[in-house]
Amino acid sequence: MSKLTYSLQRLAAWDESWCLRFNRASRSAALCGFLRWVSRLGDGVFWYGLMLGLLIFDGQTALLPVLKMILAGGSGTLIYKMLKRRLLRPRPYQVNQAISLGVAPLDQFSFPSGHTLHAVAFTLVALSYYPLLAWLLIPFTLLVGASRPVLGVHYPSDVLAGALIGALLAVLVVRFVP
């Protein structure tokens, strides 16, 4: 067995092991219900509400940040859909019957986490203009990311990859879009 194959197998085992650990938290009905609610808000409702709220409360000043959030979100959707179609990684609950599904997935494949990608991208773009919103956006983003393996729809590596892609998109949009 090559070193690369061995390393990939170890990474997959680590990922599944941590997914199982996170997923055990879904045994708590209260926690599972709360994270299901967070996950549903992370489907877009929270972010659309944030953009609308910024426009209502900050008027034209919010137009540029909101447009940048839309650009980061649209780009993120294109990227994660392309990756999912190419990589075809099954969701954890499909691979391991010990992982319980806590929420219906929005699409078939696991890698990367689109919820986490968008949460990180929207949060970083918004905070670059409205840093005082950190008290709300950072905890919500962390909860969105944590909800994905707890609810059995993503591996931790899916969440980490989504966060990295979202951060990269936010930096590119904030820095290079006038």
CA 5, CA 48: separation in Å to the nearest integer? 42
Sign for the CA dihedral angle at 85, 157, 146, 62 comes to negative
**How confident is the model at residue 4, as a pLDDT?**
76
If we measure between CA atoms, which residue out of 54, 55, 70 comes closest to residue 130?
Answer: 54
Q: Which domain holds residue 34?
A: 26-176
Q: Is residue 104 part of a domain?
A: yes
- On the question of pLDDT at 7 being above 90, the answer is no
CA 16, CA 149: separation in Å to the nearest integer? 10
CA 149, CA 101: separation in Å to the nearest integer? 10
Q: Is residue 117 part of a domain?
A: yes
Q: Structurally, how many domains does the chain consist of?
A: 1
Mind listing the pLDDT tens digit for each residue in 104-145? 898 899 999 999 999 999 999 999 999 999 999 999 999 999
Q: Is residue 10 part of a domain?
A: no
User: What predicted TM-score, i.e. pTM, was given to this entire model?
Assistant: 0.93
Q: Is residue 33 part of a domain?
A: yes
Q: Is residue 9 part of a domain?
A: no
In the block, residue with structure tokens 């931790």:
156
pLDDT band at 147 (very low <50, low <70, confident <90, very high): very high
Q: Is residue 14 part of a domain?
A: no
Q: What is the CATH number of the domain that holds 144?
A: 1.10.606.20
